[in-house]
Structure 1
Amino acid sequence: MKRIVIKVGSSVLIEDGHIANERMLNLVSLIVDLRKKHEVILVTSGAVAAGYTAVQLNKLVPTSKKVLASLGQPILMSSYKNLFDIFDITISQILMTEDDFNSRPHTKIFQDIIDRTFKNDILAIINENDISTTPEQLFGDNDQLSAHVTYFAGADLLVILSDIDGYYDSNPKDNPKAKLRKQVNELTEEELDQEFTPNSKFASGGIVTKLKAAQYIIENDLEMFLCNGFDLTSVRSYLLDDVHEKGTLFTSKK
């Protein structure tokens, strides 16, 4: 049995100003199937985007973003609860900041909570607590948060579900001949220093934050699988059938 962290981005959860119910149900169904064989933690983005579905505040204003997050957290968690209730799965919400991984007592509390959720068959759903915190306390994106959760929760694999099929050798938007890299063992400084290029107004950094998460994972001898969250065929094949068709595996193992 593996311990797996699934991270899902805002672009997957929100569509045309509304919760993407069908995609969310597909995600929940995937997690239900995974839990039959593995231990699963969910790291979710989408609170700010969900808040924006209720009130259209300017997210570029720091306080407005916090208000949107405060609006969106209950909307997002209500959507998850309604779907997981279909499968009789109990969920919990854990809000975290970077500080929680910089303090040994805080980290120990987090680890104890995670262990307790597993012992009681509870699915932990983690998001960044950007409501009452300062910028210095935040990761700023859930890609790097999920990488730290993977390490400190003792997980074996991080799966990032995004709006891309994986990591290409060049930008597929600019180069139609770009090739998907199925496995990456190391990343260069040039790759990690790329400009932040989010594909959604509610995303935090695009491919760069995912590469930084992958670098952290590789440095700690763990693995990360980056794949499409709109169509879960690839992740299902990889996790449930051990077939690697699409998606990129970041690993230190060559």
Structure 2
Amino acid sequence: MSEELSATRKAVAAAQRIVVKVGSSSLTTAEGGLDTERLAALVDSLARRVASGCQVVLVSSGAIAAGLAPLGLRRRPRDLATQQAAASVGQQSLAHAYAESFSRYRLTVGQVLLTAEDVMRRGHYRNAQRTLHRLLGLGAVPVVNENDTVATTEIRFGDNDRLAALVSHLVGADALILLSDVDALYDGDPRRGGASVIREVNGDADMVGVQAGSTGASGLGTGGMASKVGAARVACSSGIPVLLTSAAQAERALGPADVGTAFAATGSRLSARRFWLAHAADANGRLWLDDGAVAAVVKRRRSLLAAGITAVEGAFDGGDVVELVNPSGVVVARGVVAYDAAELPDLIGRSSHQLPPEQRREVVHADDLVPLR
């Protein structure tokens, strides 16, 4: 890497509010449970960043993995009930370890456990946002994790990388740092040899040909490089730069940001509501659009009218979030629908003047609609 840092790395180094995500494999081992030495080393780096005047939110995996050894489990369980039991034991150990370690720097920790529903539902989303902002305002370090003790297979984030991207926007972060057991993004599996490191990602063109694995190397977590790249895309598309590296490089990542892979912000920062619509809300159905409606919604940012809809899929009520799909089946936008699913079949394909006056409103208003890349 050249001595001159990229604008992205300078932005990460200068960020006044950052979200840092650390994976299970960086904090725990299957044999020994929670590795307090590695956790303390991470806290040392985080505390130094806080001492510089920066506000830090930590998204920490590790609850399930930390509960394995105390329960006599040799590997991460596959069934949900045992995962929840391990999380219930491990989360207590994890929270206590963070509180003890941060107390060395007279920093107070606030534990925030979230479920997918907490960001999928607008009211819950705003409550989580208020809590995190208040903790930061009081000088505490929020430590966020998915609430694995109550999360179900059907309704969960799936991995804390996505959660970290959502939290980054939730708190208005200036940067997101993803720490794992891999030092950077490679164009292939670095364990097999021949793979080249990718230092800067300025857009999708830099990702052509990159093969990112979907599972971690340690078997302790649920993510992998694919989930980290996905999280980076969510954050970057919302105006938040991302640095990806290993937990062993945390000191450099939280300092000059001259390690790992830097992902440049590619979009503008969305309002909380529009971000929620695009990335956090749970979609309850789909509306299939013709080419004219796709152009109106995506390119001209117009409201969706009944005339441009070709099919309705799913069971939803007026006020629910739905996906808008082009003729090829690609989701091009998301928005809040104004009609129940049962009302739409009689309206689709009809222009406004063909409809009764009470049904001449937009199916999805432009103010409640977010085009997707």
| TM-score of the alignment, normalized to the shorter chain, above 0.5 | yes
State the one-letter code of the partner of 2:196: K
CA offsets per residue over residues 139-190 of structure 1, 9 Å max, x none? 1100110010001111111111110111012221112x42221111234797
Unaligned stretches of 5+ residues in structure 1: none
TM-score (norm 1): 0.90
1:134 is displaced (CA, Å) by 2.0
The structure 2 residue matched to 1:250, chosen from 253, 263, 272, is 263
Correspondences of 1:75-224 after superposition (within 5 Å): 75-175=93-193, 177-187=194-204, 196-224=214-242
1:17 is displaced (CA, Å) by 2.1
**Conservation of the 8 A alpha-carbon contact between 1:198 and 1:206:** yes
State the one-letter code of the partner of 1:41: V
SS in 2 for 1:232: helix
Unaligned stretches of 5+ residues in structure 2: 1-14, 268-373
Other-structure match for 2:64: 48
Distance in 2, matches of 1:140 and 1:167, equals 21
CA offsets per residue over residues 5-54 of structure 1, 9 Å max, x none? 01111111013423222211111111111112211000000000000020
Q: How many residues align?
A: 248
**Conservation of the 8 A alpha-carbon contact between 1:89 and 1:123:** yes
Other-structure match for 1:30: 45
1:95 is displaced (CA, Å) by 0.6
Matched, 1:18 2:1: no
RMSD over aligned Cα, in angstroms? 2.1
Other-structure match for 1:39: 55
% identity of equivalent residues: 32
**Conservation of the 8 A alpha-carbon contact between 2:236 and 2:265:** yes
Larger radius of gyration: 2
CA offsets per residue over residues 70-110 of structure 1, 9 Å max, x none? 01010111111111111111111111122222222111111
Distance in 2, matches of 1:158 and 1:68, equals 28
CA offsets per residue over residues 97-128 of structure 1, 9 Å max, x none? 22222222111111111111112111110000
Q: Residue 225 and residue 63 in structure 1: after superposition, are their counterparts in 2 closer, same or farther (change >3 A)?
A: same
